[in-house]
Amino acid sequence: MKGIRVAIVHNQESKSVEVTKRLTTLLEQSENKIDQDNPELVISVGGDGTLLSAFHLYNHKLDQVQFLGVHTGHLGFYTDWRDYELEELVESLCNDHQKSVSYPLLDVRITYANGKSDKHFLALNESTIKRGNRTMVADISIKEDLFEKFRGDGLSISTPTGSTAYNKSVGGAVLHPSINAFQLAEIASLNNRVFRTLGSPIVVGHHEWVKVQLQQSTDYLVTIDQFTIEQEEIDAIYYRIADERIHFASYRHMHFWNRVKDSFIGEE
Ligand code: NAP
């Protein structure tokens, strides 16, 4: 049976370091090979945040790479395997009938007021736009049409798998990851007799895009997952579902809504 090339990304928690050592030994003893530069499978050891880091390390190889998460803390949304199941995991890598699932990513394009070239990013969880200590003012268009003038603290634009992260904290809906769409949620919008926004999150289809045209200023804070984009004279940000998707090696399947229940509600 053919082994595969595996890269491991771990966080600095002592448990993750110890699990990584054990996993490396098991992989080296199997037909699989550790290859940090050119992997077919990227295993993250830690939490969902570690998987996010792994995604950003290898997001230039999304058509060649699958991801798999081992959690060393609590159950995560991107982490299917537990740290005491490493033998079983390595064995399953040699299985010819491996299946993978893929989930949508957010395509983010930033344009600049000073003529600087556009920047392009992929987000696995979300992108947010906020403004220093002033009200953020932006025209939000869906495709070519102006939808609303937003005033408030900011916006969160998330993928379905990111819907359980920051999006949920700002009142967005939890989306099943099989839905090929993205969500726009407001962060503390100003709503009164003068200023009006929809006031609820919207789910935008994969054939549509959202343009956020920002009022001229240099104090915007734009995040892409755990990263922050430098403050520059941003003109507009365009969001759509990316052509690329993230592929997860689904050696393990857990019902999505059970995972949501486990994470946020627990047992009665
Ligand atoms: P962090 O601030 O160290 O961790 C944020 C928490 O979010 C961790 O508990 C992480 O889980 C969890 N998380 C990450 N992705 C998730 C997902 N898809 N569904 C449910 N929970 C998720 O930051 P980080 O670890 O670098 O992760 C960056 C992400 O944190 C951002 O993309 C954003 O979504 C989220 N965040 C949320 C808030 C908020 O809710 N107010 C604030 C800042 C950032 P693990 O412990 O398993 O890693």
Q: Which atom of ligand 1 is nearest to the CA of 263?
A: 20
Contact predicate 93/32, CB 8 Å: yes
Q: How far apart are the first and last CA of the chain?
A: 45
CA 105 / ligand 1 centre spacing (Å): 16
Q: Identify the pLDDT of residue 202.
A: 98
| Test site for ligand 1: of 11, 44, 48, most ligand atoms within 8 A of the Cβ | 48
Domain residue ranges in the chain: 3-98+249-263, 104-243
Among candidate residues 100, 108, 22, 114, the one with its CA nearest the CA of residue 65: 100
Is 72's C-beta closer than 6 angstroms to any atom of ligand 1? no
Which of the listed CATH numbers 1.20.1050.10, 3.40.50.170, 2.40.160.40, 3.40.50.10330 matches domain 3-98+249-263? 3.40.50.10330
Contact predicate 43/79, CB 8 Å: no
167 is in an annotated binding site: yes
Is 77's C-beta closer than 6 angstroms to any atom of ligand 1? yes
CA 259 / ligand 1 centre spacing (Å): 16
Q: Which of 37, 48, 145, 243 is catalytic?
A: 48
Phi/psi for 25 (5° steps) reads -60, -45
Q: Identify the pLDDT of residue 99.
A: 74
146: Cα separation from own chain's centroid: 27
Phi/psi for 92 (5° steps) reads -70, -20
Tell me the fold of 104-243.
Tumour Suppressor Smad4 (2.60.200)
Q: Identify the pLDDT of residue 250.
A: 62
Q: Is 48 a catalytic residue?
A: yes
| Test site for ligand 1: of 81, 226, 228, most ligand atoms within 8 A of the Cβ | 226
Q: Are 3-98+249-263 and 104-243 the same fold in CATH?
A: no
Q: Identify the pLDDT of residue 216.
A: 86
Q: What is the pLDDT along the chain (268 residues), one digit of tens a residue?
A: 478 999 999 999 999 999 999 999 999 999 899 999 999 999 999 999 999 999 999 999 999 999 999 999 887 899 889 999 999 999 888 775 567 899 999 999 999 988 899 999 999 999 999 997 899 999 999 999 999 999 999 999 999 999 999 999 999 999 999 999 999 999 999 999 888 999 999 999 999 999 999 998 888 999 999 999 877 789 999 999 999 999 998 666 678 999 999 999 987 7
Distances (CA, A) of 121 to 68, 103, 225, 228, 266: 22, 16, 10, 12, 35
